[in-house]
């Protein structure tokens, strides 16, 4: 088996142009999903029964169906549906089929990531014992202040490893965006490969690229975790044991 | 100064407080004794609205309110006049000792930061932690953590300090340092309500001892009267049992 190294080198350069698109999907998705996911967490932990049920149903639906299927479904449904709405309901002449397909990618990944993050945030909030909330109230802080200053910072620290996982998973699943004709890393590799049927080489190249990108994300999170968890690091035992005399 | 009447509180079918009255005057050290499950913690929590009583009224200086359905403003006012020291310290884990103490000043009372820092340092100095300002709770011993808890409470200059078994989560050798701080506060004229199982300490500092059992106050009086000549058989029984079980710390 001979690998076409020349082709691999060219593909590598080509594929680098897809990285901004890949990261764009990841970052936009996270920026939108984080607040939405947090809202959903609040709904889940709240008193409203209907809200709780709806949130639970949403999460189990999104997490219980394959992303590929969601993409196929949304990508056949959304454009047609939007086209119908624009043409028939609003009477406008905008051609929905020319819209940047990355928007559909956003929709799919935001739907998924919101569900995942809502679970991540929920379990993280529950790791902060409620005594600290009571202590905050007892010295005159209100609930909002206690959440912002005491509870959420600790919950976020606890959630960082899971947020890292979520981000890495998201990064990997952006490779499905080619199904919606988004020109991300995977799509570019496939296009390059299709001319000379060098699929194997192209896939090897993007394997490497994805490993690199994922390691990068994990590295960034690792540093963040270390900085955020400074308050958990016990001083030397001797210090901690020295008692007031 | 503080007078609460006819507090009732149930958890489901379990009537934990069945009409409790309590009165605290300026400078009083009220010690509440009672067996486990008698409702002591619940009573303290109701005073601070951490728990919502089902019934009862409160008069606290110029505040007059029902305990049930008190408005947010009234609750906030009461909380600013009281401070709570918890059995499990409940320190803010993401804040240093100094930040723990400053939080109530800067955030809740809008004290300017520089002034808050001075007051917080003073409070920490008072509890003997002048060399621990920048330590996180995870870097402090239990006794030190509880003293930060006390500093956090006294820094906001509350009219009443509420202690719920402040030493019962501590190793025996660390209890003394916390009780010493509390004694110091008592001698300086602080007004305190204390639930404790430290009988020797109770006898020494209490200006009034309240004995609770089964959600009611069985008897109350001076430390001397309760400890040496209890009127009620239940009180006597309880004291015989705990004085036998508990080690003397001070
Ligand atoms: N949040 C709650 N939900 C249900 N029941 C509760 C709750 N808090 C307390 N109780 C019940 O109320 C009763 C009194 O509890 P409380 O904690 O006030 O007793 P205590 O006198 O402080 O006891 P201890 O000395 O063990 O601390 C107990 O039977 C307890 O099970
Ligand atoms: Mg208790």
Q: Are B147 and B129 in contact (CB under 8 A)?
A: yes
Each residue's pLDDT tens digit, A106-159: 999 999 999 999 999 999 999 998 899 999 999 999 999 999 999 999 999 999
Question: A139–B152: do the CB atoms touch at under 8 Å?
Answer: yes
Residue A234: what pLDDT?
60
Using CB atoms, pick whichever of A140, A154, A231 lies closest to residue B108. A140
pTM of the predicted model, to two decimals? 0.84
Q: Is the pLDDT of residue B3 over 80?
A: yes
Q: Would you call B163 helix, strand, or coil by DSSP? A: strand
Helix, strand or coil, per DSSP, at residue A174: helix
Residues within 8 A of B (CB atoms), A 112-171 only: 128-129, 131-132, 134-142, 145, 149-150, 153-154, 157
Question: What DSSP character marks residue A91?
Answer: -
Does A140 sit within 8 Å of B79, measured CB to CB?
A: yes
Q: How high is the pLDDT of residue B245?
A: 64
Does residue B9 line the site of ligand 1, with CB under 6 A? no
Residues of B with CB below 8 A from A235's CB? 135, 139
Which ligand is located closest to the Cα atom of residue B16?
A: 1
Residue in chain A lying closest to B101 (CA): A139
H or E stretch covering B64: strand B63-66
In the Cβ-directed half-sphere of B115, how many Cα atoms lie within 13 Å? 9
Please give the span between the terminal C-alpha atoms of chain A, in angstroms, as a whole number. Answer: 77
B108 contacts A145? CB cut-off 8 A: yes
Cβ < 5 A residues, ion ligand 2? B 41
Handedness of CA A110, A112, A118, A123 (dihedral sign): negative
- Cα torsion B60, A141, A122, A231 to 10°: value is -130
Which pairs count as long-range contacts for A193-196, CB under 8 Å and 24+ apart, including other chains? A193/A11, A196/A4, A196/A7
- Of A133, A183, A178, the C-alpha closest to A19 is A183
User: In whole angstroms, what is the distance from residue A78 CA to residue A89 CA?
Assistant: 15
Instruction: Suggest the residue from A136, A231, A232 to mutate for an interface test with chain B (most B CBs closer than 10 A).
Output: A231
Q: What is the pLDDT of residue A238?
A: 39
Domains belonging to chain A, first-starting first, are 5-244 (1.10.3720.10)
CB neighbourhood size of B183 (10 A): 15
Q: Which of B99-108, B171-180, B236-245 has the lowest mean pLDDT?
A: B236-245
The single-letter DSSP state of residue B38 is S
Complex ipTM above 0.90? yes
pLDDT at B94 over 50: yes
Q: How many residues does chain A have?
A: 245
How far is A216 from A209, CA to CA, in rounded Å?
11
Pairing of strands B14-24, B29-33: unpaired
Within a 10 A sphere around the Cβ of A65, how many other Cβ atoms? 12
- Largest pairwise CA distance in chain A: 82
The two counts, helices (H) then strands (E), for chain A are: 11, 0
H-helix segments, chain A:
5-16, 19-45, 49-63, 67-84, 102-127, 130-138, 143-146, 152-173, 185-196, 199-228, 237-241
Given the structure tokens 């401070």, which residue do they identify?
Answer: B83
* Residue from B51, B92, B138 to probe the interface with A (highest A Cβ count within 10 Å): B92
Cα Rg for chain A, rounded, in angstroms? 23
- Average pLDDT score over chain B: 93
Antiparallel, parallel or unpaired: β B29-33 and B192-195 = parallel
Q: Tokens standing for B93? A: 């884990």
The residues with which B18 forms a beta bridge, in sequence order, are: B8
Cβ contact A140–B80 (<8 Å): yes
**Among candidates B83, B84, B139 on the partner chain, residue whose Cβ is nearest the Cβ of A240:** B139
Per-residue pLDDT of chain A (245 residues; tens, 9 = 90+): 688 889 999 999 999 999 999 999 999 999 999 999 999 999 998 888 999 999 999 999 998 999 999 999 988 888 888 888 888 878 777 777 778 889 999 999 999 999 999 999 999 999 998 899 999 999 999 999 999 999 999 999 999 999 999 999 999 999 999 999 899 999 999 999 998 898 999 999 999 999 999 999 999 999 999 988 877 766 544 344 444 33
Instruction: Please judge whether A157 and B104 are an interchain contact, meaning their C-beta atoms are less than 8 angstroms apart.
Output: no
How many CA atoms lie less than 13 Å away from A144 in the CB half-sphere?
A: 0
Q: Which residues contact B118 (CB under 8 A, 6 or more apart)?
A: none
The model's pLDDT over B47-60, given as tens digits with 9 standing for 90+, comes to: 999 999 999 999 99
Q: Are B162 and B85 in contact (CB under 8 A)?
A: yes
Nearest residue (by CA) to ligand 1, atom 24, is B36
Contact status of B104 with chain A (Cβ, < 8 Å) = yes
The answer to whether the beta carbons of residues A75 and A104 sit under 8 Å apart is yes
pLDDT given at position A1: 66
pLDDT at position B167, please?
94
**Phi, psi for B192 (deg, rounded to 5):** -135, 145
């Amino acid at each position: 088996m001979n690998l076409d190294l020349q082709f691999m080198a060219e593909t590598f350069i080509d594929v680098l142009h897809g990285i901004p698109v890949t990261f764009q999907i990841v970052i936009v998705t996270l920026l939108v999903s984080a607040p939405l996911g947090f809202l959903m967490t609040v709904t889940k932990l709240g008193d409203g029964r209907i809200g709780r049920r709806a949130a639970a149903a949403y999460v189990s639906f999104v997490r219980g169906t394959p992303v590929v299927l969601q993409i196929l479904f949304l990508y056949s449904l959304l454009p047609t549906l939007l086209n119908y709405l624009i043409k028939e309901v609003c009477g406008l002449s905008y051609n929905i089929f020319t819209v940047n397909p990355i928007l559909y990618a956003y929709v799919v990944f935001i739907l998924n990531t919101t569900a995942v993050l809502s679970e991540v945030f929920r379990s993280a909030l529950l790791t902060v014992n409620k005594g600290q909330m009571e202590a905050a109230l007892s010295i005159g802080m209100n609930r909002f202040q206690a959440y912002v200053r005491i509870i959420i910072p600790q919950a976020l620290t606890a959630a960082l490893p899971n947020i890292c996982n979520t981000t890495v998973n998201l990064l990997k699943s952006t490779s499905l965006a080619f199904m919606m004709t988004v020109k991300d890393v995977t799509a570019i590799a496939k296009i390059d490969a299709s001319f000379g049927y060098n699929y194997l080489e192209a896939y090897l190249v993007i394997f490497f690229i994805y490993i690199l990108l994922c390691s990068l994300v994990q590295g960034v999170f690792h540093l963040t975790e270390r900085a955020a968890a400074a308050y958990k690091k016990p001083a030397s035992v001797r210090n901690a044991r020295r008692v007031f005399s | 100064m503080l007078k609460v009447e006819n507090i009732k509180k149930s958890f489901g079918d379990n009537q934990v407080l069945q009409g409790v009255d309590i009165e605290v005057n300026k400078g009083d050290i009220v010690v509440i004794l009672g067996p486990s499950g008698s409702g002591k913690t619940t009573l303290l929590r109701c005073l601070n609205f951490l728990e919502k009583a089902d019934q009862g009224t409160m008069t606290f200086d110029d505040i007059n309110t029902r305990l049930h359905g008190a408005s947010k403003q009234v609750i906030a006012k009461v909380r600013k006049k009281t401070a709570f020291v918890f059995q499990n310290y409940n320190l803010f884990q993401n804040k240093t000792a100094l930040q723990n103490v400053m939080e109530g000043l800067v955030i809740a009372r809008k004290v300017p930061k520089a002034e808050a820092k001075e007051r917080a340092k003073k409070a920490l100095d008072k509890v003997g932690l002048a060399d621990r300002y920048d330590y996180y709770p995870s870097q402090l011993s239990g006794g030190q953590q509880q003293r930060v808890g006390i500093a956090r409470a006294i820094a906001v200059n509350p009219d009443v300090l509420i202690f719920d078994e402040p030493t019962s989560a501590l190793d025996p050798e660390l209890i003394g340092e916390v009780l010493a701080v509390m004694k110091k506060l008592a001698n300086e004229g602080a007004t305190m309500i204390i639930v404790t199982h430290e009988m020797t300490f109770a006898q020494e500092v209490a200006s009034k001892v309240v004995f609770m059992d089964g959600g009611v106050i069985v008897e109350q009086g001076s430390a001397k009267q309760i400890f040496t000549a209890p009127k009620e058989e239940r009180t006597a029984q309880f004291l015989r049992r705990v004085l036998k079980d508990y080690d003397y710390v001070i």
